[in-house]
Structure 1
């Protein structure tokens, strides 16, 4: 780890998401499919891992803000 290079993330550190933010999304299936595609993308783009992890926390009840 001494020679590891730092990398910026694609997630804003100042944004705070809550479970009940925004209006209820019309189609939770579309949200889950998008998260699945992003998880597949992680094999080639590890820099988006933190953003995908954060968005995965809202898969059971996504809202319009998520």
Structure 2
């Protein structure tokens, strides 16, 4: 009897790494995606100064890759 192959899920390190975005929880404007967290953080501070909005949602996206190995 043939055994099924085992699949594993690993962090995908072939790309840029995690992507970070920020979104205002008042008006839903966003910073846009960035490879690092500094750009969205600076956007939050500028947005707060310009609008008085103080709540933000940080969105971090990272990636996985599935691979199939031997049983």
TM-score, with length taken from structure 2: 0.30
Structure with a larger share of its residues in helix: 1
Which one has the largest radius of gyration?
2
Q: So what's the TM-score if we normalise by structure 1?
A: 0.31
